[in-house]
Amino acid sequence: MRPTKILPKPLSWVNGLALLAALALPAAPSLAQNPAAPASAAPLTRADAKAERDAFLKTHRWDEQSEQWMMKSGVEPPFGVMSRAEVKAARDDFLSKNRWNDIKGQWEPIKTAPRVMSTLSRSQVRKETVQFLKTHSWNEEKEVWVMKPRGAGMQ
């Protein structure tokens, strides 16, 4: 006895249309126009991308230890961008005026004079900095540290 071939059922036009819609649906957001982009903006050319990369590499270097891009020494940040030192100073200002309460799981203002960060041990500063980064993020537009929504980053 010869085995019989089982042929697939031919697609009806309704099934074909449903299949086409199912395949096109995930691609729809990528095909939509970006309303935030100006209509007259030309796409970035290869030459523009190379020029932007070269300008970036003139002012930044890769730091293997921290695994991030760092500004080269002697290079000033672009106008309107706070330096790394200013961002750290804002963080340290917050840490000097607030203390993390493990029991309540929140930051509490210090009722006495602000702490002098240089008097804290390295482990204390590291612990509070880690907690600070779990609960805060840097807002580039306003150039301030902002509290993350409750639950985001909390462990």
Average pLDDT over residues 8-13: 53
Q: Report the alpha-carbon distance of residue 148 to residue 154 in Å, rounded.
A: 9
Q: Where exactly are the structural domains of the chain?
A: 84-147
Predicted confidence (pLDDT) per residue in 94-131, tens digit: 888 888 888 888 888 888 888 887 888 888 888 888 88
pLDDT band at 77 (very low <50, low <70, confident <90, very high): confident
Average pLDDT over residues 24-47: 63
Q: Quote the pLDDT of residue 106.
A: 85
Contacts of 69 (CB under 8 A, 6+ apart): 60, 61, 62, 63
